[in-house]
Structure 1
Amino acid sequence: MRLGEKVRRKLEMPLWQTVLRVGTQQIMIALGAGLSAFAYVLFQLPYNLAAGGISGLGVIVNFYTQFPPGLFYLLANIPLFILGFYTLGRWSFVFSSALAVIFFSIATEFFTYNMPVVLGDFPITENTLLATIFAGLLYGVGIGILYRYGGTIGGTSIPARIIYNKTGFPMSQSCLFTDLLIIVLAGFVFSWENALLAFLALLLSGMASDFVLEGSSQRRSLMIVTTSPEAIKYAMMNELRTGVTTWNVEGGFSGTEKTMLYCSLLRSRIYDAKQIIYTLDPKAFLVVGICQQTWGGYTPPK
Structure 2
Amino acid sequence: MQTWVRGLDFSWKTIQEHAFIILGGLVQAFAMRLFLVPAQLVSGGVSGAAQIINHFTQWPIGLMVFIGNVPLFILGWRYLGGMRFAWRTALAIVSFSFFTDFLVLFIPPEGVTQDLVLDSLYGGILLGIGLGMVYRGQGTSGGSDILGRILNHRLGISISQAYLITDTLVVLGGGLAFNWERALYGLLVIYVSGLAAEAVSEGSGVFRMALIVTNQPEAITQRIMTVLERGVTILPGTGGYTGAPRPVLYCVITRSEVNQLKELVREVDPRAFMVIGQAHDALGEGFRPLVQ
Q: TM-score, normalised by structure 1?
A: 0.86
Give distance in 2, aligned partners of 1:244 and 1:86. Answer: 42
The answer for the alignment partner of 1:5 in structure 2 is none
> Which protein shows a greater Rg?
1
| Aligned-pair identity (%) | 38
The answer for the alignment partner of 1:152 in structure 2 is 140
Report whether the alignment pairs 1:73 with 2:65: yes
The answer for the alignment partner of 2:97 in structure 1 is 105
The answer for the alignment partner of 1:181 in structure 2 is 169
Return the offset for 1:168: 5.0
The answer for the alignment partner of 2:18 in structure 1 is 26
Q: Deviation per CA, 1:241-289, whole angstroms, max 9, x where unpaired?
A: 2222113322112323322111122222221221221222121111111
Give distance in 2, aligned partners of 1:199 and 1:241. Answer: 44
1:249–1:257 Cα contact (<8 Å) kept: yes
Where 1:246 maps in the other structure, the secondary structure is: strand
Q: Deviation per CA, 1:177-196, whole angstroms, max 9, x where unpaired?
A: 21011111211222111111
1:219–1:292 Cα contact (<8 Å) kept: yes
Code of the aligned partner of 1:57:
A
Give distance in 2, aligned partners of 1:239 and 1:68. Answer: 60
| Counterpart among 192, 201, 204 of residue 204 in structure 1 | 192
Give distance in 2, aligned partners of 1:256 and 1:84. Answer: 52
| Counterpart among 46, 51, 61 of residue 59 in structure 1 | 51
Return the offset for 1:104: 1.2
Distance 1:246 1:24, change over 3 A: closer
- The runs of 5 or more residues in structure 1 that have no matched partner are 1-16
Q: Deviation per CA, 1:132-188, whole angstroms, max 9, x where unpaired?
A: 111100011011100110122211211211223345533222112210111112112
Return the offset for 1:85: 2.5
Give distance in 1, aligned partners of 2:17 and 2:85. Answer: 15
| Counterpart among 76, 81, 94 of residue 84 in structure 1 | 76
The answer for the alignment partner of 1:242 in structure 2 is 230
Give distance in 1, aligned partners of 2:244 and 2:283. Answer: 34
Give distance in 2, aligned partners of 1:226 and 1:69. Answer: 60
Code of the aligned partner of 1:61:
I
Q: TM-score, normalised by structure 2?
A: 0.89
Report whether the alignment pairs 1:128 with 2:116: yes
Give distance in 2, aligned partners of 1:280 and 1:86. Answer: 56
The answer for the alignment partner of 1:290 in structure 2 is 278
Where 1:297 maps in the other structure, the secondary structure is: coil
Give distance in 1, aligned partners of 2:191 and 2:235. Answer: 41
Give distance in 2, aligned partners of 1:85 and 1:60. Answer: 27
Where 1:46 maps in the other structure, the secondary structure is: coil
Where 2:277 maps in the other structure, the secondary structure is: strand
Give distance in 1, aligned partners of 2:40 and 2:110. Answer: 14
Where 2:11 maps in the other structure, the secondary structure is: helix
Give distance in 2, aligned partners of 1:156 and 1:216. Answer: 24
Give distance in 1, aligned partners of 2:24 and 2:162. Answer: 23
1:88–1:162 Cα contact (<8 Å) kept: no
Alignment: residue pair count:
278
The answer for the alignment partner of 1:277 in structure 2 is 265
| Counterpart among 158, 176, 179 of residue 191 in structure 1 | 179
Give distance in 2, aligned partners of 1:239 and 1:109. Answer: 55
Return the offset for 1:214: 1.2
Return the offset for 1:62: 0.8
Give distance in 2, aligned partners of 1:91 and 1:250. Answer: 47
